[in-house]
């Protein structure tokens, strides 16, 4: 599926969710909150299928990528699903405290900070890497 098709599918899922959410908030429908979130559950199911099936099969250079290389993605998807579950539980059953609902979201934010911090650091240069290719190859001008 191309980039445009994925973007359109994502916007369509979001539009359906927002329409159902508005209907639920205006009390025009009295559905369970887990049913209101069905478009997002569908999107998560597709995201999990992509992460489990497609991502490890991609090649980086000459080697196959293991699932361990994508541990941040898998953990992020799990925390995203858990945060939606806790939001639905909080909306459906008002007795759940707010801090309990926010724990998966806070963990997801910490995970994002750790991921960005570890993957945006510049790679260490080897000694002599500032020389041009001609100088390192022994070719003189």
Which SS3 state, helix, strand or coil, does residue 6 take?
A: helix
pLDDT of residue 118: 82
pLDDT of residue 34: 93
Q: Could you tell me the pLDDT band of residue 120, with boundaries at 50, 70 and 90?
A: confident
Q: Given CA atoms 115, 119, 122, 126 in this order, what sign does their dihedral have?
A: positive
Residue 139 has pLDDT above 80, yes or no: no
Closest CA to 87 of 45, 39, 33, 35: 33
At residue 15, the pLDDT reads 96
∠ Cα 111 116 121 (to 5°): 140
Average pLDDT over residues 9-31: 94
Judged against a pLDDT cut of 80, whether residue 38 lies above it is answered with yes
**What is the band of 12 on the pLDDT scale with cuts at 50, 70, 90?**
very high
Name the residue among 87, 98, 109 with its Cα closest to residue 21: 87
State which of 54-58, 104-108, 112-116 shows the largest mean pLDDT. Answer: 104-108
What rounded mean pLDDT belongs to the chain? 81
Instruction: Judge contact between 83 and 109, C-beta under 8 A.
Output: no
Burial zone of 62 (CB within 10 Å; 0-12 exposed, 13-18 middle, 19+ buried): exposed
pLDDT greater at residue 43 or residue 119: 43
Q: Give the list of residues 6+ apart from residue 36 with CB closer than 8 angstroms, or none.
A: 17, 20, 21, 24
Q: Cα dihedral sign for 88, 94, 98, 103?
A: negative
**Among 36, 45, 41, which Cα is nearest to 17's?**
36
Element (H, E) at 60: strand 59-60
Band the pLDDT of 60: cuts 50, 70, 90: low
């Amino acid at each position: 599926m191309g980039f445009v098709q994925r973007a359109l599918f994502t916007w369509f899922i979001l539009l359906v969710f927002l329409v159902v959410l508005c209907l639920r908030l205006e009390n025009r429908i009295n559905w369970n909150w887990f049913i209101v979130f069905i478009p997002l559950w569908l999107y998560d199911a597709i995201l999990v299928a992509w992460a489990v099936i497609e991502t490890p099969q991609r090649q980086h250079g000459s080697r196959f990528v293991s699932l361990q290389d994508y541990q941040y993605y898998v953990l992020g998807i799990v925390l995203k699903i858990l945060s939606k579950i806790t939001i639905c539980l909080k909306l459906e059953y008002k007795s759940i405290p707010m801090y309990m609902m926010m724990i998966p979201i806070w963990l997801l934010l910490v995970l994002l900070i750790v991921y960005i911090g570890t993957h945006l650091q510049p790679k260490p240069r080897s000694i002599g890497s500032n020389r041009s290719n001609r100088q390192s190859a022994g070719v003189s001008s």
